[in-house]
Amino acid sequence: MDNMSGARLRTQQRSCQSGRETNLWSSGLGMKLEAVTPFLGKYRPFVGRCCQTCTPKSWESLFHRSIMDLGFCDVILVKEENTRFRGWLVRRLCYFLWSLEQHIPPCWDAPQKVMESTGVQNVISGRAPAGAGEGQVPGLMKKEVQRILGHFQTPPRPFLLRLFSWVVLRVLNCLFLNVQLHKGHMKMVHKAAQAGSPLVLLSTHKSLLDGVLLPFVLLSQGLGVLRVAWEPRTCSPVLRALLRKLGGLFLPPEATLSLDSSEGVLARAVVHAAVEQLLVSGQPLLIFLEEPPGTQGPRLSALGQAWLGLVVQAIQVGVVPDAMLVPVAITYDLVPDAPCDTIHAAAPVGLWTGMLAVLRSLRGWCRGHRVCVRVHLAQPFSLKEYAINARSCWGSRQTLEQLLQPIVLGQSTVVPDTEKEQEWTPVTGPLLALKAEDQLLVRRLSRHILNASVASSAVMSTAITATLLLFKHQQPCQSSYCYCQEVLDRLIQCGLLVAEETPGSRLACDTGRQRLSARLLWKPSGDFTDSDSDDFEEAEGRYFRLSQQSRCPDFFLFLCRLLSPLLKAFAQAAAFLPMGQLPDTESGYTDQLLQFLRATAQEDGFFECADSGLAIRAVWTFRDLGVLQQMPSPAGPMLHLSPTFASRDNQEKLEQFIRQFICG
């Protein structure tokens, strides 16, 4: 009893201390913070709704409150009840019998339909630029079409699919404790599939196992054979041949050639026709929007955007009236093949290499504790609805170079209208055939879906670090102005910033969001005019200052330390401009910058900047800003130093502009 009383007393003391800390943080605003009990057990708050701003009709029609009450299921838990048979022998062979009972739709005659498509016939007959009329024999062109199509896909083999499902089921039961799937998420996807539009699943990419796990999950839930758009660089030729027979798709290398290349024109025509026939047949398609694990640089995949661009083009030409997009994410307690060496991670995976890796995983994981996996299927939404609403909201757009470069060079003191910003999009491969407006649509749609996938993911042990670092996804229907305003609101709510006024001035009160002026000022109290108007008299003596609460300075320094590696890397990249050897390829200049960052780290002892990811991000940002320019050349795209920043004076202005945001 004494021990229980002591424990209860200590619990009460901790609760009182926690309450005092909560009041401490909220005392500046007179607000009370609500304590949220973490998710325990089978249920958790429902997440994964689509964006109400971009897709309001999908947000309302493809969701029902009853699905929130549905729990999770374990897709690898197969018992006697999951088959049509009963008995002692069935319990021993339930995995095999279950795989035999999976519904696999019949193969469709894709080669003939692709050959008869309008785009391919125009190339063969010479009516299209760089077609057969320019020196090619139509018979040879037909053989070339068959070769390209054979590289792109082959009809799925039902026997191999059932055998592979049985093997995957046994392997997953050995690797993982369970594979959880929310029944409500699955019900939304089934409802979208019943509407008649093809399903296109767009997923994050945390492990090479994702391309095997997701098709197995959807096949077990009755959605048929999932066609997976694989990255050719990650698979050996033998493994690619096997994956094609299991429903895999591989983009031909000729499709990435320039627009004036005859091979590129024919390959793109074949790929377009094949994707159109795939959507018409109603088979679900899986596209990874992130680069494979271990890839250096930005995580948004150029190949994934190319595949999404093919789907967008098919909808625009009216092959199918619409497509339902489903954001997907997979979270692991421990990623099975998390690569430690990026050099070996980028090497293609062969068939025997993959089998040996699975055996090593089974041997290592059987000695320890198995972990959990969770598959998240966010709410589907209409691609056609998103495209219509997105185009209507764009208006006139400006690049980052047009918006920010005058501020950097001291040629303008007015804060730019960031609501009209437009991100720069690197365009390669099949996206070259898209108009600039469609390229921007694909870019924003990719970020929008990736944001939805990550937002619907559970916080597993692999995501705890990102959560502790206050990782925030903006990633796309929200302008930078709104995002900065949201950050400012959060800093005020947590008590880090306090509105300060000179004596005698009226209290600040503004419920509307104003465009940021040159100084952080706000309206006088009682003035509740339209928040979009800027013709009000700015009051003097009003500003923000750091709060004097006990933990606010520490919190402020903590946030500054989070940003300092990125900002210091950018500042050092600006200092490296006169020393860089240009012109050079993007990868070559990134290596130069990385070596400079490492050499600087040896001198000042700040090794957090010597990171390849920061070097790549600096190169990309400088290219967006117009510091670096990309020019075509016979050896491929080359980076050049722009004439504006060729002078040492402008280079120093850029470095000073970046360093003013570094604290300490």
Indicate which CATH number applies to the domain containing 646. Answer: 1.10.10
Same domain as 280, residue 155 = yes
Chain centroid to Cα 189, Å, comes to 20
Does residue 47 lie within any of the structural domains?
A: no
Same domain as 322, residue 238 = yes
Do residues 362 and 171 make contact, with C-beta atoms less than 8 angstroms apart? yes
Q: Where are the alpha helices (DSSP H) in 461-551?
A: 464-468, 480-493
Same domain as 580, residue 439 = no
Do residues 329 and 455 make contact, with C-beta atoms less than 8 angstroms apart? no
Which pLDDT does position 653 carry in this prediction? 94
Does residue 133 lie within any of the structural domains?
A: no
Which pLDDT does position 541 carry in this prediction? 57
Same domain as 183, residue 65 = yes
pLDDT reading at 39 higher than 50: no
Does residue 35 lie within any of the structural domains?
A: no
The SS3 of residue 428 is coil
Do residues 84 and 101 make contact, with C-beta atoms less than 8 angstroms apart? yes
Same domain as 312, residue 431 = yes
Question: Hey, which of 63-67, 415-419, 589-593, 628-632 has the most confident mean pLDDT?
Answer: 589-593
Q: Considering its fold, how many domains does the chain have in total?
A: 3
Banded pLDDT at 514 (limits 50, 70, 90): very low
pLDDT reading at 299 higher than 60: yes
The model's pTM: 0.73
Tokens of 428: 């390669």
Across 204-208, 281-285, 528-532, least confident range? 528-532
Q: To which H or E segment does residue 630 belong? A: strand 628-631
pLDDT reading at 518 higher than 60: no
Burial of 528 (0-12, 13-18, 19+ CB in 10 A): exposed
Q: Among all chains, which residue has been given the structure tokens 């077990």? A: 220
For the chain, the straight-line distance linking the first and the last C-alpha, in angstroms and rounded, comes to 53
Which whole number is the average pLDDT over 200-204? 94
Between CA 172 and CA 20 the distance in angstroms is 47
Phi, psi of 261 (to 5 degrees): -90, 130
pLDDT reading at 479 higher than 70: no
Across 286-290, 431-435, 461-465, least confident range? 461-465
Which pLDDT does position 505 carry in this prediction? 47
Between CA 56 and CA 62 the distance in angstroms is 10
Across 17-31, 53-67, 543-557, 601-615, least confident range? 17-31
Banded pLDDT at 20 (limits 50, 70, 90): very low
Does residue 294 lie within any of the structural domains?
A: yes
Same domain as 432, residue 489 = no
Does residue 527 lie within any of the structural domains?
A: no
Do residues 214 and 286 make contact, with C-beta atoms less than 8 angstroms apart? yes
Which whole number is the average pLDDT over 179-208? 90
Between CA 627 and CA 642 the distance in angstroms is 6
Across 41-55, 300-314, 337-351, least confident range? 337-351
Which whole number is the average pLDDT over 208-214? 89
Q: Where are the alpha helices (DSSP H) in 153-230?
A: 158-175, 183-194, 210-220
Does residue 523 lie within any of the structural domains?
A: no
pLDDT reading at 555 higher than 50: yes
Same domain as 215, residue 103 = yes
pLDDT reading at 304 higher than 80: yes
Same domain as 486, residue 438 = no
Who wins on pLDDT, 650 or 464?
Answer: 650
The DSSP secondary-structure symbol of 524 reads B
Same domain as 179, residue 158 = yes
Q: To which H or E segment does residue 376 belong? A: strand 371-377
What angle is formed at CA 74 by the lines to CA 247 and CA 364, rounded to 5 degrees?
80
What confidence tens digit (pLDDT) does each residue in 72-109 have? Answer: 888 988 888 878 888 888 888 888 888 888 878 776 66
Which whole number is the average pLDDT over 371-386? 91
Between CA 100 and CA 563 the distance in angstroms is 54
Do residues 428 and 256 make contact, with C-beta atoms less than 8 angstroms apart? yes
Between CA 430 and CA 259 the distance in angstroms is 9
Which pLDDT does position 407 carry in this prediction? 86
Same domain as 465, residue 443 = no
Who wins on pLDDT, 186 or 352?
Answer: 186
Give the burial string for 536-564 (b: 16+ CB within 10 Å, else e).
eeebeebebeebebeebeebbeeeeeeeb
Where residue 644 falls (left for φ over 0; alpha for ψ -120 to 50; beta otherwise) is: alpha
Tokens of 95: 């995995």
Same domain as 439, residue 468 = no
pLDDT reading at 404 higher than 90: no
Does residue 240 lie within any of the structural domains?
A: yes
Q: The domain containing residue 107 runs over which residues?
A: 57-126+138-337+349-392+426-455
Does residue 529 lie within any of the structural domains?
A: no
What confidence tens digit (pLDDT) does each residue in 102-137 have? Answer: 878 776 667 788 888 888 888 877 766 655 545 555
- Which residues partner with 329 through β-bridges? 376
Q: To which H or E segment does residue 131 belong? A: none
- CB-CB neighbours of 7 under 10 Å: 10
Which pLDDT does position 415 carry in this prediction? 61
Between CA 296 and CA 454 the distance in angstroms is 20
Same domain as 483, residue 430 = no
How would you classify the pairing of strands 176-182 and 227-230?
unpaired
Q: What is the dihedral of CA 261, 265, 266, 269, to 10 degrees?
A: 170
Who wins on pLDDT, 428 or 469?
Answer: 428
What confidence tens digit (pLDDT) does each residue in 407-438 have? Answer: 899 887 666 655 555 555 455 555 656 777 88
pLDDT reading at 546 higher than 90: no
